[in-house]
């Protein structure tokens, strides 16, 4: 079986977060199951509920044929189905891992249905008593419901495995190193039907040198090429099959991938791992130490992207009168374009053009922001002073959000050549580029906590980046909503100039 025929699923990682600790920022985010598993878990719940209703309607007909019209009526059928649907999610009986895609375990469903049926029968027995015929009809309902649910979910799981799994549920995986341990890993992935990895190639500094992986996996390049390769993927697993004695090389690789969407795993004992058979290597691969995880797992990215798209569309509609009025004011105040574009670095360090209302005189505009705008700056127009004070000049960035370059909430994107006390931002704050692990935002945790305005000194920059790192380490949908709710008051009652 090919490595590409397998599904991917990971365990949850512990969540921590300290500003000055590089490892805490890199590895703190929760690494939760894929959104596809949640979607199919919900699908199986719907299938099971439909099975309860369908089997109930059939059993109701049998009850009426036996002269037990009141035993299984439609209100009883839909009442039990509603109770099952609610309790299934309250009790979390649907798996969040790979089992959901394999058809899942029917045991929890049977136990929940059995409990509901027992409660309903006990209530009916207390009110009217139960005959053996009526008990048999209820038993037929339970058996038919569970059998139908199992058959339907197995059919869905078969479709998922053959048509969805390899294409959508695997993360591509690369190996760093070309030795016996790397070969054991490749064989383990290829031989294990439950393997979560799809190996696409390997990296090795010995370019052109034959080794155990030569001819088994494609050679991609040297270790220095890993970061560029990672940029082409939304997520990537990287297995380090290198000796622990090569500590400097490991740290160098982690540094190269520090803000990339990569999960870095370290094979701890190369000789022992190499000695494992394929089955043992596959199991050991899932337990290897994790040095870094992506900033947000897939389902959290989906939630954040969905919020950006849905809420962003609403915000755009609400802001339209303000956008049009501001554009007219800028056009009447000074000659030049209404919209000002400036290159910024977004997620994973990728360049994009940020949109802002022009607030400077065209002849004095500074595209690269070599000189930051300060209070009383003569380059600022009359309208520019007002729109900068209340952050109105940032509102066109809602277009960046809808394009996917930015998020509603995230670290503010700084100008590429911006300086604090004459130094580039990256030279002032160690690990400054960790801000690129998430999309930049229109507003952020730093902005609502009073750190808007100029970042012309090292102290101001450090404080702002400290809040940015906190946001990255503690992201949640609730935190985003909190920031959005506090943004408007921060705009209307600014304590500093604009960023």
138-148 pLDDT per residue, tens: 888 888 888 88
pLDDT digits (tens, 9 = 90+) for 338-358: 998 888 888 877 889 999 999
Percent share of the chain, pLDDT over 70:
77
> What residues contact residue 464 under an 8 Å CB cut-off, 6+ apart?
412, 446, 451, 455
Task: List, by residue range, all CATH 3.40.50.720 domains of the chain.
Answer: 3-34+169-292
Give the count of beta carbons closer than 10 Å to the beta carbon of residue 451.
22
Q: Which of 89-98, 231-240, 259-268 has the weakest average pLDDT?
A: 89-98
Each residue's pLDDT tens digit, 113-140: 888 888 877 876 666 666 677 777 788 8
pLDDT greater than 80 at residue 476: yes
CB atoms within 10 A of CB 441: 27
Q: Residue 325 pLDDT more than 90?
A: yes
Residues contacting 4, CB < 8 A, separation 6+: 166, 170, 198
| Mean pLDDT on 415-423 | 76
Q: What number is the average pLDDT over the span 156-162?
A: 63
pLDDT above 90 as % of the chain: 8
Rounded-to-integer distance, Cα 158 and Cα 430, Å: 49
Residue-level pLDDT at 206: 74
The whole-angstrom separation of Cα 445 and Cα 402 is 21
- pLDDT score recorded for residue 57: 86
Q: Which of 9-13, 73-77, 412-416 has the lowest mean pLDDT?
A: 9-13
Amino acid 323: pLDDT: 93
- pLDDT for 31 beyond 50: no
The topology under which CATH files domain 3-34+169-292 is Rossmann fold (3.40.50)
pLDDT > 80? residue 186: yes
């Amino acid at each position: 079986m090919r490595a590409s025929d397998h599904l991917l699923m990971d365990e949850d990682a512990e969540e921590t977060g300290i500003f000055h600790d590089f490892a805490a920022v890199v590895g703190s985010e929760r690494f939760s199951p894929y959104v596809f598993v949640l979607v199919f878990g919900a699908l199986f719940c719907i299938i099971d509920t439909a099975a309860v209703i369908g089997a109930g309607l059939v059993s109701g007909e049998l009850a009426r044929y036996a002269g037990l019209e009141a035993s299984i009526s439609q209100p009883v059928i839909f009442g039990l189905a509603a109770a099952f649907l609610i309790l299934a999610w309250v009790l979390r009986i649907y798996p969040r891992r790979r089992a959901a895609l394999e058809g899942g375990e029917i045991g929890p469903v049977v136990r929940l249905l059995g409990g509901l049926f027992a409660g309903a029968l006990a209530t009916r027995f207390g009110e009217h008593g139960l005959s053996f015929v009526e008990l048999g009809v209820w038993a037929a309902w339970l058996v038919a419901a569970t059998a139908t649910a199992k058959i339907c979910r197995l059919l869905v799981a078969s479709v998922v495995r053959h048509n969805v799994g390899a294409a959508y549920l695997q993360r591509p995986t690369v190996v760093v190193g070309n030795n016996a341990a790397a070969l054991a890993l490749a064989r383990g992935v290829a031989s294990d039907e439950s393997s979560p990895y799809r190996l696409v190639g390997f990296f090795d500094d010995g370019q052109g040198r034959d080794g155990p992986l030569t001819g088994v996996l494609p050679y991609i390049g040297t270790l220095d090429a890993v970061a560029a390769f990672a940029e082409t993927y939304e997520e990537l697993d990287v297995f380090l099959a290198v000796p622990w004695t090569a500590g400097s090389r490991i740290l160098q690789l982690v540094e190269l991938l520090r803000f990339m969407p990569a999960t870095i795993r370290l094979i701890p004992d190369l000789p022992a791992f190499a000695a494992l058979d394929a089955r043992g290597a596959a199991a050991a691969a899932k337990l290897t130490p994790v040095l870094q995880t992506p900033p947000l797992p897939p389902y959290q990215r989906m939630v954040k992207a969905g919020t950006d798209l849905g809420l962003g569309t609403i915000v755009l509609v609400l802001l339209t009168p303000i956008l049009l009025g501001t554009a007219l004011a800028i056009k009447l105040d000074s000659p030049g374009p209404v919209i000002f574009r400036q290159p910024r670095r977004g997620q994973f360090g990728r360049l994009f053009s940020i949109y802002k209302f022009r607030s400077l005189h065209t002849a004095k505009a500074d595209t690269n922001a070599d000189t930051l705008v300060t209070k009383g700056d003569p380059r600022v127009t009359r309208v520019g002073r007002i729109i900068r004070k209340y952050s109105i000049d940032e509102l066109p960035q809602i277009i960046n959000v809808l394009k996917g370059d930015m998020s509603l909430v995230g670290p503010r994107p700084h100008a590429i050549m911006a300086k604090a006390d004459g130094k580039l931002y990256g030279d002032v704050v160690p690990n400054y580029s960790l801000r690129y692990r998430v999309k930049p935002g229109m507003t952020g945790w730093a902005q609502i906590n009073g750190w808007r305005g100029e970042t012309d000194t090292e102290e101001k920059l450090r404080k702002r980046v400290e809040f940015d790192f906190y946001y990255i380490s503690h992201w949640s949908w609730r935190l985003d909503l909190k920031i959005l709710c506090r943004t408007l008051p921060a705009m209307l009652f600014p304590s500093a100039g604009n960023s």
